[in-house]
Structure 1
């Protein structure tokens, strides 16, 4: 990056480390396929930390668990609307759906019953099940967002039940190896930072424990590095390799619930935290465990992402730091739009469909996109706009907007020429209320007035 950009980024990291008294602090910026910049302050074992220094990443672990669950969904092994009991019996929350656990909308208690699980060695799954009771429901299922670490403990076990192997083995084989994330592990491996609590009124440190959380480990066990998390940011942005289809990750980035009501600056999708800031729609996750704080956040529209890692229990604003670094990058070196290039060829039948179509009297425009995709949106102003992916002969499925998941179907006249489009029962015709098309309710026999 430009020297001025790098200095601005390093200065912001240096101010955070000095003013918030972080024992060490690492940050990195990615865009597209590239790790553009890394910066560090403080020390680990007497030396500056670097991209291969491990930190505990806490709840960023949940994003990995969510990917394992979505892989099972894409394979047809489960449905997100399935009750948990269908795959994981014996719990007090088996009536909740898989989607509700992923999105923290099941209403269950935020922490596992018993002692503070983040600082105590965890027991196995049977002990966790025994500790649960129906009284630990805090809200009506589906009624609101309520963050639940316990829910992700359950999801980790659900993965293990369906795969016949523990969640960490599944993660290693299905996700980490394909993405070449060799430094993401359940327990620390040198070189790694030690977790510290910083005294609030003196510049002294207290070591924090880092035990195996047992059955609660899927909620926050993992350790990782700036190098590995740079690859994970690319994954969240859509560079998914062979692990998931990019459309599935895009689905995970869609908001299921919001945390702050009408303001909608923070929300949650299917295993991913979501943020809106200065017109950006960001995705990622934060992490907090005794002795450590971490954040990964990426703008999928530009593929610019930032990660921050520190070994302090509290007081370091890693999330605000990440957003500030992202803004600095966008201000100093904004991402260039993808270069336009013409398609080499187009199906004449699809090309003939482009142009104006009418929903009743309202004009829409149909455009042909690469790979036979279609884009349908109002001719002017805002309204019901969606992209459609081919889903069979003469049919497409909506990917976003109002018609996400709905089927667009092309109908033909007896002579084979296009007649009309049927989109979730809405009929689109080449002229306003075409009398030759099957308009629901019929048309006045007089038609449009004519001279």
Structure 2
């Protein structure tokens, strides 16, 4: 079955390709059921499902456990605290949650899994054991919580997100799930996303690897570990959450803050975050397409959420099996199916309404040594630096009140671009992080470091 938004209806051929992909996924992955949803242009435009029950199946309103996609919700709560000025991401955990034994780790390191903490809790397999075995944070972290020195490398850590959930509770003075409900779920209208299952919901199953038989998996309350993987949700709700992660919502987080979450804050980890890990978000490349999102699993369930900012397409896949169906990979393929079959129309070009004459005189070709670059003034008021005819260090810059420009992306992110003028007010050169950009290659009239040979350019006789 599939449902389609009337506003942004997909082509029949695209809908069939989506249905076919999840049908293959359910069959080859040997999953009792799978549900999926696609969002485009800020709306959920397709839902589909597949099950072995003839003539019946779950829809976008049936709950499944989403596992570690929960971490992205927790990261949103931490970012809200940051945006309210209640903490800094560079704060050590000890400042807000003392006595954990892991207080030297910064909040940014916890969000990006670079805190060096263990991947799992000590003792029993926590996802299949009762929360009563972990009544205190000390039971989650153990006597030796660290595997690496904080900040040295990316090492995925479930206990790290338990600490972030406890941080939220400490700062807000309320349980994690209550804060999540009031500050994220209700504003975004995610009324089918809950900390505990609410009917209708799927049951979790283990499928035998060598025989077509199944066994139910226990559905444990994760207790202190809830912030790392507790949530139940639906394909429809997770797709709406993906829209928020792509565009922001001022009631929850600004577009700038969700963009920060989608920006790599940790080095790549093969198999987990191919392009690095953001703040609560995995980053990967799928067929040359940059995706941000998260995978998830708990005994009985697998989940995948990916969004392509460039294509404005997101996809969600949820299934009720412990393993077998690669939910995250299928979700990435659904994004590709829509983006390739129905490419996004670019926004119409429009002119700059009030071009800044100072910025205008900076436009055109510049040279870093002998490397040609070009500066363009965009309609949004930003300067865009890019190499001419070759790959290189492209960046965008925002104007500052003092006449300088601050890098927003690429190699020059955070660096300052300054315009250096001659006594008559004309532009001599640009200074960008100590690099001198001139109007001609190695302009003899500009203070090029090391000087310019007085004989100038010449051939070899």
TM-score over 0.5 (shorter chain): yes
* Residues 1:351 and 2:360 aligned together: yes
**More deviation, 180-189/281-290:** 180-189
2:269 aligned partner = 259
Tell me, what secondary structure is at the counterpart of 1:338?
coil
Tell me, what secondary structure is at the counterpart of 2:72?
helix
Distance 1:96 1:315 in 2: 36
1:401 aligned partner = 410
**More deviation, 334-343/94-103:** 334-343
1:76 aligned partner = 85
Alignment equivalent of 1:390, drawn from 385, 388, 399: 399
2:220 aligned partner = 211
Alignment TM-score, normalising by the size of structure 1:
0.90
1:438, distance to aligned residue in structure 2 (A): 5.0
Contact 2:248 2:254 in 1 (8 A): no
After superposition, the Cα gap between the structure-2 partners of 1:448 and 1:124, relative to the gap in structure 1 and judged at 3 Å, is farther
**Over residues 33-77 of structure 1, what are the superposed CA-to-partner deviations in whole Å (9 max), with x where a residue is unaligned?**
232211111279x94211111111110000111122223333333
Runs of 5+ consecutive residues of structure 1 not aligned to the other structure: none
2:73 aligned partner = 64
2:118 aligned partner = 109
Alignment equivalent of 1:29, drawn from 29, 34, 38: 38
Tell me, what secondary structure is at the counterpart of 1:135?
coil
* Residues 1:308 and 2:317 aligned together: yes
Tell me, what secondary structure is at the counterpart of 1:88?
coil
Contact 1:176 1:184 in 2 (8 A): yes
1:188 aligned partner = 197
* Residues 1:281 and 2:281 aligned together: no
Contact 2:273 2:282 in 1 (8 A): no
Tell me, what secondary structure is at the counterpart of 1:107?
coil
Tell me, what secondary structure is at the counterpart of 1:178?
helix
Distance 1:319 1:108 in 2: 25
2:63 aligned partner = 54
Distance 2:171 2:446 in 1: 49
Alignment TM-score, normalising by the size of structure 2:
0.88
Distance 1:62 1:389 in 2: 32
Number of residue pairs matched by the alignment:
448
2:336 aligned partner = 327
1:148 aligned partner = 157
1:148, distance to aligned residue in structure 2 (A): 0.9
Tell me, what secondary structure is at the counterpart of 2:187?
coil
After superposition, the Cα gap between the structure-2 partners of 1:31 and 1:376, relative to the gap in structure 1 and judged at 3 Å, is same
**More deviation, 287-296/265-274:** 265-274
After superposition, the Cα gap between the structure-2 partners of 1:409 and 1:208, relative to the gap in structure 1 and judged at 3 Å, is same
Distance 2:357 2:251 in 1: 33
2:303 aligned partner = 294
Contact 1:52 1:183 in 2 (8 A): yes
Alignment equivalent of 1:164, drawn from 150, 166, 173: 173
After superposition, the Cα gap between the structure-2 partners of 1:291 and 1:439, relative to the gap in structure 1 and judged at 3 Å, is same
* Residues 1:225 and 2:222 aligned together: no
1:354, distance to aligned residue in structure 2 (A): 1.1
2:4 aligned partner = none
Alignment equivalent of 1:91, drawn from 93, 96, 100: 100
After superposition, the Cα gap between the structure-2 partners of 1:164 and 1:419, relative to the gap in structure 1 and judged at 3 Å, is farther
1:283, distance to aligned residue in structure 2 (A): 0.9
Alignment equivalent of 1:13, drawn from 14, 17, 22: 22
Distance 1:242 1:130 in 2: 36
**More deviation, 17-26/211-220:** 17-26
After superposition, the Cα gap between the structure-2 partners of 1:210 and 1:264, relative to the gap in structure 1 and judged at 3 Å, is closer
After superposition, the Cα gap between the structure-2 partners of 1:235 and 1:101, relative to the gap in structure 1 and judged at 3 Å, is same
Distance 1:311 1:55 in 2: 7
Contact 2:311 2:339 in 1 (8 A): no
Contact 1:124 1:215 in 2 (8 A): no
Please report the RMSD computed on the Cα atoms of aligned residues, expressed in angstroms: 2.8
**Over residues 145-173 of structure 1, what are the superposed CA-to-partner deviations in whole Å (9 max), with x where a residue is unaligned?**
22110010001111222233332232223
**More deviation, 20-29/145-154:** 20-29
**More deviation, 7-16/281-290:** 7-16
Runs of 5+ consecutive residues of structure 2 not aligned to the other structure: 1-9
Show the 5 A alignment for 1:370-385: 370-385=379-394
Runs of 4+ in 1 over 6 A off after TM superposition: none
Contact 1:25 1:311 in 2 (8 A): yes
Distance 2:446 2:340 in 1: 52
